[in-house]
């Protein structure tokens, strides 16, 4: 099934091909396109951004959106620049907020966006990097795939460096390349979660962590350190680890087994809010009450944290702000000929948002 933005793209391409709008003729405004197609502004912007990258449209700042003379491959927007964005996921969880921040900021500065995802798969990262390098990109925003491992795709990143194309990383970074990164202090976030459970009187606590991404490794290490600093013994069988591809296969059974233990944990910290939601459902299946029998903390303070019942205590993630900051930084690096320093990296301070999924023991 096609996405809404893809249907919008197809219709606008047909306008150009059939010369409903001739080369260098202005098409309807964003608001008019929203009304015409009955879709959101985000959908229209995604379609227009793609069409600009594919050379069907171009934008003149302060004037409007125009049809390119694509048949002759002539683009008259001399200042048009393309930024590639490669994330692990696009359409689920917190990623739409991150992408929205990137897209809106790039769009406001007349940059085109080339967006793709790896689904946290190394081979897809390889093919997407290859495709992006085949286009004319002026900069790249990357969320590393399986960032806890050595990347086999360093050849592509070295290619970017050789071509002097600036790129930055979000949510994690590859140790093999030194470029600016924008990340949450995941180590501190895990530490905060452990100490909050302990202040509520929980001594028998557990943690669930995805360990093929650096975020999960850092959150786990912060959680373990928080327990050690509070003189709470954390048993090895209370640390549940999993890989991305095990999320819906092996992980649920691991969670069920630990919650069925005679000395089951009374508090549990989860890699993210999605896993917290999984724990909540498994707890209910086992007739455990949250937070009376089990306190749960998530990470990312995603929209689902406020629609769960009970509402989820969670560690914050800047999401849209990270996207905005990333877009501003890559634009500055493009304009400054890729000159960056260590101070360009950002480490966001996490905080705990306390809701009703946690309580004193």
Chain segment 30-56, per-residue pLDDT in tens: 999 999 999 999 889 988 888 887 778
Angle 267-249-307 (CA atoms, 0-180°, nearest 5)?
A: 50
User: What pLDDT does 74 receive?
Assistant: 42
Residue 72 has pLDDT above 70, yes or no: no
Look at 332 and 80; give whichever has higher pLDDT: 332
User: What pLDDT does 77 receive?
Assistant: 37
Where are the domain boundaries for CATH 1.10.10.10 in the chain?
Answer: 1-79
* Overall average pLDDT of the 221-240 stretch: 96
User: What pLDDT does 91 receive?
Assistant: 77
Look at 55 and 191; give whichever has higher pLDDT: 191
Query: Which residues, in sequence order, are CB contacts of 222 under 8 Å at separation 6+?
Result: 186, 187, 188, 189, 190, 191, 192, 193, 194
- The Cα-based distances of 244 to 87, 88, 105, 216, 220 in angstroms read 15, 11, 30, 11, 15
- Could you name the CATH architecture of 186-317? 3-Layer(aba) Sandwich (3.40)
Residue 117 has pLDDT above 80, yes or no: yes
Look at 343 and 271; give whichever has higher pLDDT: 271
What's the pLDDT tens digit per position in 289-324? Answer: 999 999 999 999 999 999 999 999 999 999 999 999
* Overall average pLDDT of the 243-249 stretch: 96
How are beta strands 352-353 and 313-316 bridged, if at all? antiparallel
User: What pLDDT does 80 receive?
Assistant: 66
CATH class of 1-79: mainly alpha
* Count of C-beta atoms within a 10 Å radius of residue 66: 19
User: What pLDDT does 24 receive?
Assistant: 85
* Overall average pLDDT of the 218-239 stretch: 96
Give the residue ranges of DSSP H helices in the chain.
4-17, 30-37, 41-53, 95-108, 122-134, 154-162, 186-199, 214-229, 250-259, 273-285, 304-307, 320-335
User: What pLDDT does 29 receive?
Assistant: 93
Residue 79 has pLDDT above 70, yes or no: no
- Is the separation of the CB atoms in 127 and 86 below 8 Å? no
Average pLDDT, the chain: 91
State the angle between helix axes of 30-37 and 41-53 in degrees (0 to 180), rounded to the nearest 10.
110
User: What pLDDT does 1 receive?
Assistant: 62
User: What pLDDT does 108 receive?
Assistant: 87
Q: How far apart are CA 32 and CA 352, in angstroms?
A: 42
Q: How far apart are CA 197 and CA 192, in angstroms?
A: 9
User: What pLDDT does 90 receive?
Assistant: 85
Residue 158 has pLDDT above 60, yes or no: yes
Q: Which two tokens stand for residue 33?
A: 């396109």
Q: How do the residues of the chain divide into helix, strand and coil, expressed in percent and rounded to 5?
A: 45, 20, 40
> Would you place residue 133 in the very low, low, confident or very high pLDDT band (cuts 50, 70, 90)?
confident
What's the pLDDT tens digit per position in 287-296? Answer: 999 999 999 9
Residue 132 has pLDDT above 90, yes or no: no
Residues in a beta bridge with 101: none
Q: Which two tokens stand for residue 56?
A: 């069907």
* Overall average pLDDT of the 45-71 stretch: 81
User: What pLDDT does 49 receive?
Assistant: 85
Residue 69 has pLDDT above 90, yes or no: no
Cα-flanking dihedrals φ and ψ of residue 175, to 5°? -65, -20
Where are the domain boundaries for CATH 3.40.50.2300 in the chain?
Answer: 186-317
């Amino acid at each position: 099934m096609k996405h809404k933005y893809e249907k919008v793209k197809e219709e606008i391409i047909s306008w150009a091909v059939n010369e409903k709008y001739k080369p260098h003729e202005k098409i309807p405004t964003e608001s008019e396109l929203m009304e015409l197609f009955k879709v959101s502004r985000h959908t229209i912007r995604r379609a227009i951004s793609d069409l600009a990258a594919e050379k069907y449209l171009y934008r003149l700042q302060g004037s409007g959106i125009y049809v390119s003379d694509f048949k002759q491959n002539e683009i008259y927007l001399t200042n048009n620049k393309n930024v590639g964005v490669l994330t692990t996921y696009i359409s689920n969880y917190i990623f739409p907020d991150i992408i929205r921040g990137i897209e809106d900021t790039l769009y406001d500065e007349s940059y085109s966006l080339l967006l793709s995802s790896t689904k946290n798969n190394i081979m897809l990262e390889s093919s997407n990097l290859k495709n992006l390098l085949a286009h004319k990109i002026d900069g790249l925003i990357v969320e590393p795939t399986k960032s806890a491992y050595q990347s086999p795709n360093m050849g592509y990143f070295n290619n970017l460096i050789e071509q002097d194309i600036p790129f930055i990383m979000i949510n994690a970074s590859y140790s093999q390349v030194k470029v600016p990164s924008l990340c949450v202090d995941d180590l501190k976030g895990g530490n905060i979660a452990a100490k909050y459970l302990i202040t509520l009187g929980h001594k028998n606590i557990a943690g669930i962590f995805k360990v093929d991404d650096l975020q999960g490794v850092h959150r786990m290490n912060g959680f373990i350190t928080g327990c050690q600093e509070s003189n709470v013994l954390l048993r090895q069988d209370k640390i549940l680890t999993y890989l991305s591809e095990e999320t819906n296969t092996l992980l649920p059974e691991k969670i069920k087994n630990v919650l069925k233990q005679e000395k089951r944990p009374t508090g549990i910290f989860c890699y993210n809010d999605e896993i917290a939601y999984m724990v909540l459902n498994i707890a209910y299946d086992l007739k455990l009450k949250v937070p009376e029998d089990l306190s749960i903390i998530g990470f990312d303070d995603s929209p689902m944290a406020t629609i769960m019942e009970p509402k989820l205590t969670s560690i914050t993630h800047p999401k849209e702000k990270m996207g905005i900051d990333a877009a501003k930084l890559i634009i500055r690096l493009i304009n400054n000929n890729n000159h960056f320093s260590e101070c360009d990296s950002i480490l966001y301070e996490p905080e705990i948002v306390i809701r009703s999924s946690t309580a004193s023991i």
